[in-house]
Structure 1
């Protein structure tokens, strides 16, 4: 008799694999968002995906995941462009632009969703999974989307590793070396959007930002090297995905998306309590900024 029947359950394997891949992708991209102090960008983009989802449903009447995600991607990119444009062409600060972008796009999404709900004979039930997440209904096609997105983002990260590293720690120095910092900023923002959109069906627009930030924050507590931090963040993200799926499967009334986020938050608390890199035990000298020595040595 199998002592761990849950591990051999097909549904659990599919959901756990999708959650693990999402965690790895989120940890990879979230590391740069955390280091660049743009963690709230993920929150804005995830909320800004809602009007794109509702608009696609209104225009096509379909609840096909691919089309809805395309709508979410377009809306997320529009929100990112809106924020970048506001910061570049006005005196509004970045944090204010983030708050403005989230309120505008999320408010528009709620208006469109309310309108959809009032349309006679409109079956909008499938749209709810993008708000709160519904990892339990992940299919192989959904996992393929997450896997392809993660592979593309990993390839771009490796290809532009040196540029992203300099941009994260010393953008002025990168600009002095002739790097196209504006283009790199846009590329990193677009990669953040892609990572968020890939995970909407799993944890939803409300919790996706936590999935992007938590593994990176936990990893930052254990190392001062960027390469190690990114690898640890991907590992912590995968562990959170599997642990949350396991808890949700063991407790039938526990939703998988929130359970995954809670697992990631537990890793953050443990890392804050015992991580050596951000404590006096793990630092040599206190003059340099966080991670800057490792940037030059790694």
Structure 2
């Protein structure tokens, strides 16, 4: 069953929902990258919670007009209007009052969500309210989704992804250097509004799949995960789209295979799985990589200090240093240096003397910046420069191990 879901063999509706969720995850990952870069992740939380009153009011209006209130288009339209109102209020509070943006977000988030809960309670007392199914907008649910609803979500997600890709360059420039963007003629305010519009679109489209409570995770987890793997913005965007798409694909497929489970939490858990793997094993910023770098650095320091101690005839008491020197074949078990160890120790001491000359000679000011006690001086200076230093030290030629 699960394999059939992952291979898109559970039927047309399930396949369409999974494809739509994948496109939504990609759009959310790319759009959330700009929120992450601008350090405005909480804005997405305010937008998502502000959709609840719109969903409830749209249902009540459609019922009042004689419908059953279940039209996905109408519910999403109400959510979009409500979220836009919440976003405008946050913007007004943060720019026209003394409230900081995080305080404005917290106020709007709590008030709108509380108002939405009150409206849902009222809807439950209505004759058609008990079968409204609006609770699926809280955590997301794809089981029983109509073909027309799945088609709307897939098309909307695809259009949102295209919009993100079209606006990628101005959004990137405004995220890193808004002053320069303004100097080049770009309207940063409009760019910010476009970014908020993308977040709003992802939020509204994702209500039925992920739910308003967890949609923020689809916007934030993918770029945070991607950041572990690269330093370049374009690569972060691509990896965010990849992680967001895979998380949404896996979550939607598993939810289709296990219809009793809500879709949103599964998508978030799959995305969190990618985050944990990246946190641990990413080559640049992962925990394991950091531990390996620390061990390698620790080993270099102990070997360097051990060689300098051997060269100066000082005893070595640190057991780790002795073990490392023995492993390299530079000292015997009794702590006496081998012939190779003597040569390496002499080379280490000569390099240290060379570095001391470099650090105190203004002519080598640029080279002196590379000194950290571990960097090989041969990687910084040329052979002629090393010969000149050796001549000043009273040696003929460079010392080699």
Larger Rg: 2
Shift of residue 192 of structure 1? 0.6
Inter-CA distance 3–19: structure 2 relative to 1 (3 Å threshold): closer
Q: Which residue of 2 aligns with 1:88?
A: 95
**Do residues 219 (structure 1) and 226 (structure 2) align?**
yes
Aligned length: 282
Gaps of 5+ in 2: 64-68, 291-401
1:185: Cα distance to partner?
0.8
CA distance in 2 between counterparts of 1:211 and 1:3 reads 22
TM-score of the pair, normalised by structure 1: 0.86
Q: Is the 8 A contact 2:19 2:249 kept in 1?
A: yes
Give the match for residue 48 of structure 1.
50
- Match of 2:83? 76
> Which of 20, 24, 28 is equivalent to 2:26?
24
Q: Which has the higher contact order (CA 8 A, sep 6+)?
A: 1
Partner of residue 152, structure 2: 145
Which consecutive unaligned segments of at least 5 residues does structure 1 have? 283-298
| Comparing 17-26 and 149-158, the one that deviates more | 149-158
How far apart are the structure 2 equivalents of 1:174 and 1:5? 48
Equivalent residue runs for 1:218-297 within 5 Å: 218-249=225-256, 251=258, 253-278=260-285
Q: In structure 2, what is the Cα distance between the partners aligned to 1:244 and 1:107?
A: 28
Q: Do 2:20 and 2:157's aligned partners in 1 also have CA atoms closer than 8 Å?
A: no
C-alpha contact 1:53 1:68 (8 A) present in aligned 2: yes
Q: 1: distance between equivalents of 2:165 and 2:28?
A: 16
Instruction: Determine which of 197, 207, 211 is the counterpart of 1:204.
Output: 211
State the match for 2:35 in structure 1.
Answer: 33
Instruction: Please identify runs of 4+ aligned residues in structure 1 that moved more than 6 A.
Output: none
> Structure 1 residues 4, 37: CA separation in 2 closer, same or farther (over 3 Å shift)?
closer
**Any conservation in 1 of the 2:70–2:132 contact (CA below 8 Å)?**
no
Residue 57 of structure 1 is matched in structure 2 by 59
Give CA-to-partner distance per residue, 1:181-206, whole Å, 9 cap, x none: 11111111011101110000011111
Cα separation, partners in 2 of 1:258 and 1:3, compared to 1, 3 Å: closer
Secondary structure in structure 1 of the residue aligned to 2:39: coil
Aligned in 2, Cα 1:243/1:162: closer, same or farther, shift over 3 Å? closer
The RMSD of aligned alpha carbons is 2.4
1:106-147 deviations in Å (ceiling 9; x for gaps): 111111111111234544532111112112233443333333
- Tell me the distance in 2 between the aligned counterparts of 1:140 and 1:121: 22
Superposition deviation, residue 164 in structure 1 = 0.7
Give 1:158 deviation, angstroms. 3.5
Larger helix share, 1 or 2: 1
- 1:291 aligned partner: none
Q: Match of 2:10?
A: 9
- Secondary structure in 2 matching 1:200: coil
For 2:180 and 2:195, how far apart are their aligned partners in 1? 18
* Residues 28 and 231 in structure 1, CA contact (< 8 A), matched pair in contact too: yes
TM-score by length of 2: 0.65
